[in-house]
Structure 1
Amino acid sequence: MAKNIHIGVYMAKDCQLLDTAAVDILGCMSKQFVSTLPVQLVANINLDQVPTVKISYITADDQANDITLSSQLMMRATHTIDHQDVAAGKLDIVVIPGPASWDNPDKRALAWLREQYTKGADVLSICTGIFICCDAGIASGKKATGPKSVQKILKDKYPHVDFQGDKYRYLQDGSFWSSGTVTNGNDLLAAYARASSLWPQPVVELVLDIMDTGNRGQTLPNAKV
């Protein structure tokens, strides 16, 4: 279990709001949140074992600090990719919400993501975030999902990735995790927290129960597995 967890959320210019919001699942598995809960809910929780969670919202250098997400939400980034606080080795987890635009990703951001992954960060790709991860090269040779609706596009564009998004809501391949479309990001982050050694499992289950998430199966309905 960790005492401090640093999560980086890489924000492309036009991220899906619901993809981005999934990080709140991990953010609530923090001492900052759990310590605010009614004592009756945390009677069986050792608060000294609950980690402090820091979340940084990160953009590429050529992006403004104010980012427009879907549904016209404006969000303020905390860092750019060249900031030392979010350099490779400084993040435990990198979450990649899906952008609406799949082409022409920022090349410096791709290099930053590759280095994060190489230096040991767990990478969690949500929805069309898989395009960024594939362009960065970290999904090559791995199992991955991505949105069910664009499986053919993904398979044609990235033949060296084993796409199974027509079967699964999320998949893990080593320290690379990927989800299907939008709210499958909730399924992914719940599964990741359950599999991770960063959090005490009583804290994970408490937060997932409060949020009523993490209860759907990994396999999609009617999938031929």
Structure 2
Amino acid sequence: MKQVGLLLIRNFKLLSVAAILDVFETANKFYTDTNQSTLFNINLIKIDDHGADHFSNYNTQNLISDELYDLLLIPSFSPGAVKDYIVANQDYLPWLNRQHQKGTRIATFCTGAFLLAASGLLNGKVATTHVDACPEFNAAFPDVLLRADKTVTQDGLLYTSGGATSTFHLLLHLLQYYCGKDIAVRAAKIYAIDMNRDNQSYFSTFKPFTDHNDTLVASAQKKIEDSFQYTGTIEEMIKDIPSSRRNIVRRFKLVTGITPIEYLQQTRVEAAKKLLVQTDQQMMEVIVNSGYNDPKAFRKIFRKNVGMTPSEYRDKFNAIQ
């Protein structure tokens, strides 16, 4: 039997915890339906009794337990100030390191990746998180090899997933590892999850990271946002800022997690996405109104950031209106 620990972190998202438990319960039921022993013994691991009343029918253990787990699961945080949530859950960090050193696999879901990154275990490793949380993650953990486009990542014993339904993609990945492909496919059918989706970029919404106190960077951000439609260079857009190009680029990336040119590109792409879905503008109008005059360059940058062509994006999201 595999010992699975689900961290009942402070400020957890209830839906995330419920989804994780439901999938592992379903897997166990596959075994009991064929008169086999259940594969997963699930325990909730807590610092205190926060949220435990929601799951009174599960085994719970305090963090001080020395039990070694085969797999630890970190659910998503609720919306809010993630940096404050990390502080509230810092007691988990040395414990996660000890478990990992003993060979425990650790999987995070959505913004749960922030807690694992805070432990230092993701430094130099590939990871993902909710697409809209990626700028904040990049700024907070520059040593992590963030793959914002990925639905699921695995680097050694560490797993991460993107937002929302990406949770199920990682859960299916784990079921395939522990139970085999047949169980994973059966679970995919029950939850109506397309197993081969590995890209989440087209679900993203660029939300500039502004929760900082660097007035120089804030000024550069505003200049880019106010003038992105003009097909000038980034140097022209921030030319009035009293700083050398090298200094502003360094500070900009340190604060926002991306360079000024990447910020400009993402601002323009976000504008194009809105025009594609919310208006009937012809493609050339969309290109010009989002700040480009070269269709080839626009399509290349759009595909790089979104994971599909502008026409595919329009077709996909117009179809669900």
Pairwise same-fold verdict (TM > 0.5):
yes
| Percentage of pairs with the same residue | 21
Larger relative contact order, structure 1 or 2 (CA cutoff 8 Å, min sep 6)? 1
What are the residue-to-residue correspondences of 1:83-162 with 2, within 5 Å? Answer: 83-84=65-66, 87=67, 90-100=68-78, 101-102=81-82, 103=84, 104-162=87-145
- Which of 195, 198, 203 lines up with 1:215 in the alignment? 195
Map of 1:80 onto structure 2? 62
Cα distance in 2 for partners of 1:152, 1:174 equals 24
The offset of 1:51, in angstroms, is 4.6
Cα distance in 1 for partners of 2:129, 2:155 equals 14
More helix by percentage: 2
* Aligned partner of residue 116 in structure 2, secondary structure: helix
Cα distance in 2 for partners of 1:74, 1:151 equals 30
The offset of 1:108, in angstroms, is 2.4
Distance 1:120 1:27, change over 3 A: farther
What are the residue-to-residue correspondences of 1:168-183 with 2, within 5 Å? Answer: 168-183=150-165
Using the TM superposition, name which of 156-165 and 209-218 deviates more: 209-218
Larger Rg: 2
Superposed CA deviations along residues 111-157 of structure 1, whole A, max 9, x for unmatched, are: 11111111111111001111110111111111111111121111111
Cα distance in 2 for partners of 1:91, 1:214 equals 29
* Contact 1:124/1:178, CA 8 A, preserved across alignment: yes
Cα distance in 2 for partners of 1:75, 1:18 equals 12
- Which of 27, 48, 53 lines up with 2:40 in the alignment? 53
CA-based RMSD: 2.3
Cα distance in 2 for partners of 1:159, 1:200 equals 35
Cα distance in 2 for partners of 1:221, 1:148 equals 7
Superposed CA deviations along residues 26-79 of structure 1, whole A, max 9, x for unmatched, are: 33222xx12554xxxx6xxxx55x65311101112xx22x417xxxx8344711
Cα distance in 1 for partners of 2:30, 2:182 equals 11
Cα distance in 2 for partners of 1:151, 1:52 equals 34
Q: Establish whether residue 28 from structure 1 lines up as the match of residue 15 from structure 2.
A: no
Instruction: Read off the aligned partner of 1:97 and give its amino acid letter.
Output: P
* Aligned partner of residue 128 in structure 1, secondary structure: helix
Return 5+ residue gaps in structure 2 as ranges.
203-302, 308-321
Superposed CA deviations along residues 145-201 of structure 1, whole A, max 9, x for unmatched, are: 111112111111111001112x1111111111111113311111112322x1x2133
* Contact 2:106/2:157, CA 8 A, preserved across alignment: yes
Cα distance in 2 for partners of 1:161, 1:141 equals 5
* Contact 1:190/1:214, CA 8 A, preserved across alignment: no
The offset of 1:210, in angstroms, is 2.6
Return 5+ residue gaps in structure 1 as ranges.
none
Instruction: Read off the aligned partner of 1:67 and give its amino acid letter.
Output: G
The offset of 1:205, in angstroms, is 2.2
Instruction: Read off the aligned partner of 1:34 and give its amino acid letter.
Output: F
Cα distance in 2 for partners of 1:221, 1:157 equals 20
Instruction: Read off the aligned partner of 1:111 and give its amino acid letter.
Output: P
The offset of 1:92, in angstroms, is 0.8
Cα distance in 2 for partners of 1:221, 1:131 equals 19
Cα distance in 2 for partners of 1:131, 1:112 equals 16
